[in-house]
């Protein structure tokens, strides 16, 4: 499908002539298949190496690509009430079509979370009135199966010529479940192996750009990839940490290494300087997860939920928009950053905190919805006994997959213990080096 370099709302900054941009060289040593339609001369991607954008692009069904590239009006709909993954994935897919000179609007029947507001452009998410007036020919459902999209999107979906479902949950949408006419074209791509719907959106974007035979400048890729990076990061840590797999980290590293994404300081709402923090964290995580996934050691420690409530209450006094999830991320970053500063490769995740429904109800009755007992944190590393040792130092049992016995532990205390643990490790390492005892 030929697309004019002069078409599209951001064409002046997104397009480059094919003659001036060469595709990446094929690496014959790479194990993952390199598909010509994914890495051809019309699709400039990050350098080859770890399985990443190409791997997810290769998983996209051809029917999804063809339906996504159909001409005519298009509405990309995220799940309501919505999380960063659905908002960012919907926006990224809409931006992809716009970059290709195809009309597209993004819609989520909810208020955008604070974490992604800095990534969205003004007016980029259309409201219900605009959806009704649009009467889209194609509706793309991302991160949902059409059951929670709001009345306007439901009406638009049932009047569309085709509906595309892109979801990483275990769903089975049908014409009957969506209330579609038998004549409506329905294309479903379900991949429960994706930690975030953004991974599937990434693959769709890469395949769409390649199939359309259009080159995107670095700025064009940045507009598409930035929300996807934010979505992957938000959906991989915290409440869904038990589903974390190395593919997510690999994809993130590929995008960061490509320099196509200049992470803003407000990325995912984690405060100033988070770009460097994310880059540094992923730099360590890629070594432990991509190279030796499945061999990692796991240690667990706990924090009292009452203490985290106190931290949350204090934070809300200054910034009312701070959520329970934000507090967990702050606790994670406190511990993780300090350990990484000492030169150790370790990943810290929150587990067993609450489910997504409880998170949504939290604003209604914070105290009642807090987890009873403690919030559990797991520490992962491939460096032998490092994770159990750190977990034990932080009050956990220090045994793989076993929770700690701490009934009350303040965040400040955990940070102090982390410092003490690192200092002790450094002293032992210095002692070993002095007497030529090797590494500890």
The token pair at 401 is 């997959």
Cβ atoms 371, 352 nearer than 8 A: yes
Q: Does 132 share its domain with 204?
A: yes
The answer to the question of residue 84 being in a domain is yes
Least confident range of 8-17, 249-258, 419-428: 8-17
Q: Does 76 share its domain with 183?
A: yes
pLDDT tens for each residue of 122-151: 889 999 999 999 999 999 999 988 888 889
Q: Does 184 share its domain with 62?
A: yes
- pLDDT value of residue 376: 67
Q: Does 74 share its domain with 195?
A: yes
Of 167-176, 263-272, 418-427, which has the strongest mean pLDDT?
Answer: 167-176
HEC letters along the chain? CCCCCCCCCCHHHHEECHHHCCCCCCCCCCCCCCCHHHHCCCCCCCCCCCCCHHHHHHHCCHHHHHHHCCCCCEEEECCCCCCHHHHHHHHHHHHHHHHCCCCCEEECCCCCCHHHHCCCCCCCECCHHHHHHHCCCEEEEECCCCCCCCHHHHHHHHCCCEEEEEECCCCCCCHHHHCCCCCCEEEEEECCCCCCHHHHHHHHHHHHHHHCCCEECHHHHHHHHHHHHHHHHHHHCHHHHHHCCHHHHHHHHHHHHHCCCCCCCCHHHCCCCHHHHHHHHHHHHHHHHHCCCCCCEEEEEEEEHHHHHHHHHHHHHHCCCCCHHHHHHHHHHHHHHHHHHCCCCCEEEEECCCCHHHHHHCCCCHHHHCCCCEEEEEEEECCCCHHHHHHHHCCCCCCCCCCCCCCCCCHHHHHHHHHHHHHHHHHHHHHHHHCCCCCC
Q: Does 365 share its domain with 429?
A: yes
Query: 241, 275, 304 — which closes off a domain?
Result: 241
Which residues lie across from 377 on neighbouring strands?
Answer: 301, 350
The answer to the question of residue 400 being in a domain is yes
Q: Does 219 share its domain with 311?
A: no
Q: Does 185 share its domain with 301?
A: no
Residue in the block written with tokens 């030796």: 292
Residue in the block written with tokens 């339906």: 67
Least confident range of 9-18, 136-145, 377-386, 428-437: 9-18
- Domain encompassing residue 308: 296-434
- pLDDT value of residue 64: 97
Q: State the pLDDT confidence band at 81, using cuts at 50, 70 and 90.
A: confident
* Mean pLDDT estimate for the chain: 65
400 versus 285: the higher-pLDDT residue is 400
As for how many domains the chain has, the answer is 2
319 versus 99: the higher-pLDDT residue is 99
Least confident range of 82-96, 170-184, 261-275: 261-275
The answer to the question of residue 14 being in a domain is no
Least confident range of 97-101, 266-270, 413-417: 266-270
- pLDDT value of residue 119: 81
Which residues lie across from 76 on neighbouring strands?
Answer: 106, 140
Helices 246-258 and 218-236, axial angle in degrees (round to 10): 150
The Cα 344–Cα 314 span in angstroms is: 31
pLDDT tens for each residue of 173-192: 999 999 999 999 999 999 98
- pLDDT value of residue 29: 37
Q: Does 175 share its domain with 309?
A: no
- pLDDT value of residue 146: 82
Q: Does 236 share its domain with 307?
A: no
The answer to the question of residue 205 being in a domain is yes
8 versus 414: the higher-pLDDT residue is 414
pLDDT of residue 234 exceeding 70, the answer is no
**pLDDT > 90 in the chain, percent:** 23
Q: State the pLDDT confidence band at 166, using cuts at 50, 70 and 90.
A: very high
């Amino acid at each position: 499908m030929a697309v004019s370099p002069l078409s599209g709302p951001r064409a002046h900054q997104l397009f480059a002539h094919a003659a001036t941009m060469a595709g990446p060289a094929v690496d014959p040593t790479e194990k993952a298949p390199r598909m010509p339609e994914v890495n051809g001369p019309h699709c400039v991607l990050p350098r080859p190496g770890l399985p990443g954008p190409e791997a997810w692009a290769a998983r996209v069904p051809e029917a999804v690509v063809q339906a996504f590239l159909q001409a005519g009006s298009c509405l990309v709909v995220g799940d309501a009430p919505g999380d960063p993954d659905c908002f960012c994935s919907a926006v990224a897919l809409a931006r992809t079509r716009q970059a290709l000179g195809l009309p597209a609007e993004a819609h989520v029947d909810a208020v955008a979370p604070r974490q992604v507001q800095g990534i969205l452009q003004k007016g980029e998410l259309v409201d219900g009135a605009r959806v009704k007036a649009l009467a889209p020919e194609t509706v793309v459902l991302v991160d949902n199966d059409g059951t929670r999209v709001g009345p306007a999107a439901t009406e638009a979906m049932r009047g569309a010529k085709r509906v595309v479902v892109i979801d990483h949950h275990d769903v089975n949408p049908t014409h009957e479940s969506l209330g579609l006419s038998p004549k409506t074209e329905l294309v479903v791509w379900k991949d429960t192996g994706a930690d975030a719907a953004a991974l599937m959106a990434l693959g769709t974007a890469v395949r769409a750009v390649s199939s359309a035979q259009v080159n995107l400048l670095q700025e064009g890729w940045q507009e598409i990839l930035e929300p996807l990076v934010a979505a992957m990061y938000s959906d991989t840590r915290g409440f869904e940490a038990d589903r974390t797999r190395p593919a997510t980290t690999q994809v993130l590293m590929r995008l960061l290494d490509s320099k196509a994404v200049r992470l803003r300081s407000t990325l995912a709402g984690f405060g100033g300087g988070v770009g460097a923090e994310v880059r540094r964290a992923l730099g360590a995580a890629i070594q432990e997860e991509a190279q030796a996934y499945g061999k990692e050691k796991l240690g667990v420690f706990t924090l009292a939920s009452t203490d985290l409530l106190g931290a949350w209450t204090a934070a809300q006094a200054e910034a009312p928009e701070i959520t329970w999830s934000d507090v967990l991320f702050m606790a994670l970053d406190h511990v993780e950053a300090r350990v990484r500063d000492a030169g150790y490769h370790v990943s810290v995740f929150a587990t067993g905190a609450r489910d997504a429904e409880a998170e949504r109800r939290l604003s209604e009755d914070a105290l009642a919805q807090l987890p009873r007992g403690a919030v559990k944190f797991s520490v992962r590393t491939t460096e032998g006994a490092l994770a159990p040792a750190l977990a034990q130092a932080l009050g956990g049992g220090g045994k793989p997959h076993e929770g700690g016995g701490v009934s009350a532990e303040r965040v400040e205390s955990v940070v102090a213990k982390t410092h003490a643990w690192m200092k002790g490790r450094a002293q032992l390492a210095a002692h070993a080096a002095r007497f030529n005892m090797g590494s500890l």
